[in-house]
Amino acid sequence: MIDRPIYTIFLWVYAIFYVLAGCNHFLSTAVYYGIMPKWLPAPGFLIYFSGVLEMVFGFLLLFKKTRKLAAILIILMLIAFMPAHIYMIQKAPFMLGSIEITPLIAWLRLPFQLLFIGWAWYYYKRTV
């Protein structure tokens, strides 16, 4: 088991990451349109809705009573986001705001999704 202070620091980092990522959906909405698969309906709603979910799930991670639920919901959310990551691979190369998404960058995003799923799973299994 990880030492308690390190556990808490990484928990806060992970939770704040989601809260800030969710806020970014409202601050950089146009960027998210660029990675939204064209076959999904109501892209604007989905961008804002996923931003709200990220903020809520990040916040719920901070409380022991809701941490397991938040972790499972984050895992499900990340799985639901996979079509956007696959779409990025198919679409690359393209500009995402001021960043060029090359095929390599698009492919490298997938292992990070697995890392984030594993991180959530860790908090699901080892809530202290």
Beta strands in the chain (DSSP E): 94-96, 99-101
What is the per-residue pLDDT for 1?
52
**Which stretches in the chain have pLDDT values below 70?**
1-2, 128
**What one-character DSSP code corresponds to residue 97?**
T
Cut 0.75: pTM above it: yes
CB atoms within 10 A of CB 109: 15
What is the per-residue pLDDT for 2?
60
Per the document, the length of the chain is: 128
Identity at 66, one-letter amino acid code: T
Phi–psi pair at 104, nearest 5 degrees: -60, -45
Asked if residue 117 lies in contact with residue 78, where contact means CB atoms within 8 angstroms, the answer is yes
Angle at CA 75, nearest 5°, toward 7 and 39?
145
